[in-house]
Structure formats: structure tokens, C-alpha cells
Amino acid sequence: MPGENWHNLSIAEVSALMQSGTVTSVALTKHMLERIDRLNHSLNAFITVTRELALEAASAADAERSRGRWRGPLHGIPIAIKDNIAVSGVRMTCGSELFADLVPEHDAEVVRRLKDSGAVILGKVGMHELAYGTTSDNPFFGPIRNPLDAGLDAGGSSGGSASAVGAGLVFAALGTDTACSIRFPAHCCGVVGFKPSFNAISTDGVVPLVPSLDHVGTLTRTVSDAALTFASAAGFEWQPAAVPDDGVAGVRIGVMRRFFFDGDPEIAGAVEECLSELQRQGAAIVDLDEGGVDDSLTISTRLFREAYEAFGGELSSHRELFSPRASEKLERKSRITLGDYEDARARLGQFAQTMDAAMRDCDVLVAPAATTMPAILGNWHDDYDLLASKNATVFNLSGQPSIAIPVRRPSQRRPIGLMLSGRRGDDAGLLGLAALIEQSLSSN
């Protein structure tokens, strides 16, 4: 395949070319750096491009391959890291003036694992200030542009990760997700956003926001790319399951319409069309109504007291380093009483059990990833944060793995995120079902 199209390949495809010697990591890395040079000025996805370090890593990957050492499917693959995740010797801003001069001495554990797998880090990508928001409108580094439409929000907080993947600047990017911050940008930018089970990927070396809810995950273009990146980030070898001959036939799909299908009716309509197609192909739709899901709104709100605990000291001493919006949100969370916070902590286990009970009758839960489309930049409606995060937050609370995959809206070509969520701890099972559903919906 001509070099100008390398960025369109899947990780497995480009890895096979590299392993055979058809493509070198240095050539691929230079190709992606050229795309960053050409496109990032309009997208604003990258905050820091680590050109020299990337080319050194690519050269080392090629040298290892020539000596017969192959580290796995991410060997020599260019990726990006969200800027609240430490990379040794590279500035980490967390999208904030508070961290403007911070250069970590050590890699985050997840970065160490990715480097050990042979991945080539092209740089750090932008985000909402302190990862505390659903947009990518950053007051210090400027808005991150949506690769599908430069006039639209890329979503937050991992908007730089989603934009870079969607524009073909990297094959994968790390993101973080406390309420929706991987799956909402994926929904906005038409990419795959995977939030694994709680603690499936280490948060050591990641700037915390709400430790009770913080997850590290991936943004990629396909589910198979998500699986390969997740396996490297979590430190195990991915073994893809065989694709059944009968596709989704017999798969039990749980649906909770009462809670998850409000907001934009066209998004709900697109999801209903997907469900109808999967049912036509033999999947069983299981209607569920777990009343306890409503508790997620109160529990998550109270747990965000941890955001104030994370940054309250700096807010008191260095208010000028926070935007007015961040200051207001943190001050609001400071008013959550310790009693209400402790009540929310105590209810987390019960909430997880509620969702476990919902999974007894189905193999996967399906819902809209969000119930609003990306806003026009600078034109945020009042309930944007709520509609962006309400559905996704459920699975941060429960600790279940959850993935957004792009599907088409009925009236437009722009995609929406179809959110699939599985059983706690069964990340491989969810990824296998997601790949099956992705294939089933793309083939109709």
C-alpha cells in the first residue's frame, strides 16, 4: 500500500507490514509526524509533539525487529498520550496553567507498559482543563477541533485523543474517563472509546480528579485496535476470540430505555435502528428497568467532592492559575458535606450490585453513549454537561467495562456513539461482543 495511506490501516494491518519488513517504524513515524505538521495547526489536538524522542523510539523498534525481537502488535506503532498522564522528560500540563512547567521524572505505569510493548509516543494531546469537563474548549491552550467538522466541539475531557485518532494523526491514544471523558469524545468524533473495568489499567502516574471514578482507557478507530491497545496498556497478551458463524444470533442485548434514551430524539432513534438490525440478525432484545440506576446522578455528584480535595489547596493559594469556570465548579464541590460524600462512597458497592443484577439476564447492555450531539464551539446549551455524561457515568460508578462505537444517524452522515457495557472484570468478553456488533452493523 502506498505510504500516503498508511494512516488508514488498522493496527493489525500496519503491524503485519512492519513485522514483514515492508514498512519500517521510522518511515511510519515520519509519515504521521508529517500529518501532524500539516493538520494539527487547524485541529489543535497536540499540545506537545515529541519528534526527536519518537524517531529515536522508532529507530530502536526497527533495530529490534531486524535482530529478530518482536514485542507484539504495538511494536513500532505511533500513539499519543493524554496530557494528564506522565511521560518521563515530557511536559505534562493537564490542560492547566497550574501544571504549565511540570516535567515528570518517571513514566506513568500505563506509559511504561506501552513503551515495553514497543509503542512509539508522538506526543501529548490536549484536554479540558484538569480533565474536569465535557468539552475541549480549553481557556489556556484553545479549543480542540472536531475532525468531522472544525466548527464542532470534540468532546471532553479527552478531546485531543479523539481528535488525533479521528484525523489519522495516530493509531491510538490514551485517555482518561471519570464520568464520560473517553466515550463522549468518541461519540463526538466518530471513533471508538473504551473505558475498561475499574483498575484494569493502572492510574499510577495519572493526575487524579475523582479517584473513586477515574479510569484510564483508549481511543482508536476500531474495536480490534482498542483490544490490542488495551492489552498492551494492561500488560497481557491479547487472544482474539473466534468470530461465530452465526454472528450476533443468540446474543442477549439488555436495554433500559427509561433512563438512557432521553435527550436528543434522533440519537435515540439511531440506537433503536441499531437494535432493530441486531434483532433482525438474531439477537434477543431484553427490556430492563432497574430503578436503582437513577441513583447514579446523586452518587456521582457527591463523589465529585474528591475533585475539590484534589485541587482545593491550589485553588486557595493560586486562584489566578484556574479559569473562572474551573474555580466555580471546584467551589461548588467544596459545599458537598462530608456526610453526603461518605454516604455516596457507602452506596457505591450497592450500586455495582444493582448493575450486576441487570447483567444476569443479558450479555451486554446497549444505550446511547450520550444524549446530545457535539455543540457548536462557543454555543454550549445549559444541559450539555448532563446530557454528555449521564449515561456514561453509570459505568464509572459500577466499574463495568464500557465502549462507544460509531454508528450512523438516520438523517445525517455524522455518526453517534453506541455504548456497549459488559460485566465487571470481563473486559475481553465485552471487547469480543463489541467487535461482533461492530461487524454486524457495518455489514448491513
Residue 106 has phi, psi (to 5 degrees) of -130, 150
Spatial neighbors of 84 by CB under 8 A, at least 6 apart, are 92, 94, 95, 127, 130, 131, 176, 206, 207
177 near 395, Cβ under 8 Å?
no
Alpha-carbon gap, residue 307 to 305, rounded angstroms: 5
401 near 200, Cβ under 8 Å?
yes
Active site residues per annotation: 82, 157, 181
CA distances from 404 to 73, 156, 183, 241 (A): 22, 14, 5, 20
136 near 89, Cβ under 8 Å?
no
Alpha-carbon gap, residue 373 to 395, rounded angstroms: 20
∠284-287-291 over CA atoms, to 5°? 150
Assigned C-alpha cell, 378: 462557543
Q: What is the CB-side half-sphere exposure of residue 65 using CA atoms within 13 A?
A: 26
Count other C-beta atoms under 10 Å from residue 328's C-beta: 11
H or E element in which residue 46 lies: strand 46-49
Alpha-carbon gap, residue 159 to 154, rounded angstroms: 5
Assigned C-alpha cell, 231: 492489552
Q: Is 406 left (phi over 0), alpha (psi -120 to 50) or beta?
A: beta
